[in-house]
Structure 1
Amino acid sequence: MVAAILSVAFFVIVRSVAEQAAESTQDDILSASATAIADSLRSEGSNVMLDLPYSALSMLGTLSEDRVFYRVFTGDGTLTGYDDLPLPDRTPHRGQPAFATFDYRGDPVRAVSVVRPVGTGTSARDIIVTVAQTRLGLEQTSRTITTTAMGVGAGFFLVATGLSLWAASAALAPIERLTGAVARRGPHDLRPVTADTPAELMPLVNALNSFMARLRASLLRNEDFIAEAAHRVRTPLATVRAQAEITHRKLNKPEHRRAMREMIRAIDESARSAGQMLDHAMVKFRTDTLAGDTLDMRALIGEVCDRLGATADLKDIQIVRNLPDEPIPARGDGILLQAALQNLLDNAIKYSPEDSRIVVRVEQGFDLKVSIQDEGRGFGDADLTRLKTRYTRGTNVGDIVGSGLGLTIADEVTRAHGGRLEIVTNQTGVGACISLILPRI
């Protein structure tokens, strides 16, 4: 835009200066021609005589195809030339040519008039010599100058644009290198930027590094807070529940025992909701800094089953492990995968009736599929595609404590590892089957 404005300004200035120079040249030639004619005037007695010099008019005729007109006026009439050629409105001063532009015989002309005294003494009189020339040559010169100026202006614009693009590219190259160095990083890479940048960009690089350092410290503090909060919340609630159970066994009145059972249920709901909300927050943070550790899924599943085995035993639920004998290699974040499996197995235990079975199965094909199949209530008539949404539960489990976050946690963990969560009704009978499908390494 700036180059275009400068090019237009350059064109206007060059054309204006060139036209003024061409007009000034024509004026000088006209003035010289009129002066040459005036110098040829002489007095013979009372008569004014003129031997018209050929060179006076030929110097105008050789410059272009313009027509030339002249008039010598003695005061009493025209001595020679074109009678209808207009005289100047005011008589010029001696030695000072007067210029004018007007239309004559259908063409614009440029005219000059000079005054020359002829005679001696009191008989001397002023003779007006007027010479005019059409402006066709001037217009042609103006068009030539305009075309040249346009070409020069266009060339200037192209050169200026090319230089501007080159300068902009050179100026933006360090920024592009810095952008590439940051864009190529993963979401968990908060190391300081060390890309080669000029001194002018060092304040920006320093500010960016300072921001990433503060962000890294903030993320670590948040993760530590979530882990500490989970411990601080679960432990007191577990203690309160244990005391409530003891008190419940000591009460004799039915209404007191009923009130204590409601209290225990509220504690269970609070503990589960708080625990799963903290687990969900932990999943959110860790998926941004997902670890890529090499894991043994067989060992990870076994650890989760052992941890929840006591809970299953309280309901006489048998956890059947249909696992291969050899390790199952996988890559990912062990803490997140453990949280996902624990939530799925905990849901299976919670919604399964007493004296039932839960089958944990691993299938290794193109993908790694970990399925947890129970004999519980299933999902009723709930929309299976919406069960992964936060705080969404089946339509037939209102009497069981739950927060509606278990499947959400499992789904987010699976998607963070490039897999998917599959929810189906148990094809072999009642219950449900939830599967973690992960890419194999």
Structure 2
Amino acid sequence: MIARLSIGHRLTVLLAGVAALLSLLSWWMVSELARQAAARSQDNVLAASATTIAETIRSEQGEVRLELPYSALSMLGAISEDRVFYKVVAGERVLTGYDDLPVPTDAATGARVAFETGQYSGEAIRMASVRRTVLAGAGPVPVVVTVAQTLSGVDAVSGQLSRLAAALSLAFFLVAVGLSVFAARASLRPLNAFAQAVSRRGPSDLRPLRRDAPPELAPLRGALNRLMDRLGQSIRRSEDFIAEAAHRVRTPLATVRAQAEIALRSAESEESRQRLRRIIRAVDESSRSAGQLLDHATVAYRAEDLARDRIDLGELVAQAAAALEPTATMKDIAFHIATSQARVVGDAVLLESALGNVLDNAVKYSPDETTVHIAVSAEEGVARITVTDEGPGLGEGPIETLTERFRRGGNTEGVVGSGLGLTIAADVLAAHGGRLDLRNAAEGGGACVTLVLPAD
């Protein structure tokens, strides 16, 4: 359970545990000291009472006489309302008191004051005895004075002090828990500030951390700096590799395609021409896949740190249509553009790549001598670019799966493609907080693809 707690909770629990231990220890110490103080007070009063009685013993006409002083017993009432017992023994004769009251064993050894705890009349008692020798008659007579008191009052005083100590310990514990929470938060404040400094950075900000930190966080700062340095190197190597790989793949593919076209012109048999056409088609597919893989990787990297430019969607559509004009002209496909004022904030390179892939699909799948309609609109904080073609549409399968990588519709047989165009467009729009809507055109067949973006 402790392992799943946060550092702050762990530190709070640890400090609260220490506070609880100290509270229990303080309660035990205060209770024990209170008990000992109450017992010591009772012993002192018992000793004073027994000594006072012993001092009144005298010898008169050869006999031991005693006048029991009232103050000797009344002083025991200062502690509590407990019952008091006493016994005075001269030699073998009980002068006064309770005959069956036991005498502390130490009293017979000649100790000045002997104390003992025992039982009398079914109650626990504390006894104090004083031994004295009185000259009476033919010789000295040993006299033992014993005074006893029940322990109920002392126990009550000890219990009251113990409860008071428990209340104070509980109050101490509650205050300590509050201070523990404050101490844990204060201790973790530098770590939280350190984490916020890291989280505020952009995804591509891999500069070393220069923020001042406590000595305990210095190893973490050093480890993060080393990690970001390695990550930056890895990203640069990946970008260089992707660009180099795309170049290395497309260059020989272009050479193979050129040689295949030359061979196609000089081929004599129809079988050879069919083989060469399949080779050219495979080369086109490979070249297109390599290009779109590079585009997709570019989108993945740039999406982490988007440019924030104000873009006029009308101009963006015009540029994308102009770039595909030669390809569309080869199939006698015309672009019909209907624009209205619409602006967005985003990365122009990525948005042009997304729109270019959508228009390329529209041209590629449209029959010859048709029209691709492009409409730009903006309403209620949303800007849209809608591209509608007159091709075979998006097929009968689930349309939402067409944005997955390398996924193509079931009606694309015979058309060169990689299955990455809509994936790139969807990723670009998602990075800008938008979405890609796909549906089949309501009238005349064809596909209707809408790029939805937050308007500026």
Do they superpose with TM above 0.5? yes
Matched ranges for 1:141-290 at <5 A: 141-193=157-209, 197-198=213-214, 201-290=217-306
**Aligned match of 1:51:** 67
Any idea what SS the aligned residue of 1:434 has?
A: strand
TM-superposed deviation, 1:75? 4.3
TM-superposed deviation, 1:124? 2.5
Any idea what SS the aligned residue of 2:64 has?
A: strand
Which consecutive aligned stretches of 4+ in structure 1 deviate over 6 angstroms post-superposition?
none
Any idea what SS the aligned residue of 2:109 has?
A: coil
Structure 1 residue identity aligned to 2:177: T
Matched ranges for 1:1-400 at <5 A: 1=16, 2-44=18-60, 47-89=63-105, 92-119=108-135, 123-193=139-209, 197-198=213-214, 201-314=217-330, 316-324=331-339, 329-366=343-380, 367-400=382-415
What's the RMSD between the two structures over aligned residues? Answer: 2.7
Unaligned runs of 5+ in 2: 1-15
**Aligned match of 1:407:** 422
Any idea what SS the aligned residue of 1:131 has?
A: strand
Cα separation, 1, equivalents of 2:370 and 2:362:
11
TM-superposed deviation, 1:281? 2.1
Any idea what SS the aligned residue of 1:124 has?
A: strand
Any idea what SS the aligned residue of 2:403 has?
A: coil
Kept in 1: contact 2:56–2:66 (CA 8 A): yes
Aligned CA distance change for structure 1 residues 248 and 236 (closer, same or farther; 3 Å): same
What is the count of residue pairs matched by the alignment? 439
Kept in 2: contact 1:92–1:98 (CA 8 A): no
TM-superposed deviation, 1:180? 3.3
TM-superposed deviation, 1:336? 1.1
TM-superposed deviation, 1:440? 1.6
Q: Which moved more, 1:210-219 or 1:238-247?
A: 210-219
Cα separation, 1, equivalents of 2:388 and 2:359:
9
Cα separation, 2, equivalents of 1:299 and 1:226:
30
Cα separation, 2, equivalents of 1:6 and 1:406:
69
1:139-188 CA distance string (max 9 Å, x none): 22212311331232233223333433333333233333333333344434
Aligned CA distance change for structure 1 residues 247 and 75 (closer, same or farther; 3 Å): farther
TM-superposed deviation, 1:44? 4.1
Unaligned runs of 5+ in 1: none
TM-superposed deviation, 1:250? 2.0
Structure 1 residue identity aligned to 2:329: D
Any idea what SS the aligned residue of 1:160 has?
A: helix
1:420 and 2:435 are equivalent in the alignment:
yes
Sequence identity (%) = 48
Cα separation, 2, equivalents of 1:242 and 1:321:
34
| TM-score normalized by the length of structure 2 | 0.87
Kept in 1: contact 2:124–2:150 (CA 8 A): yes
TM-superposed deviation, 1:138? 0.9
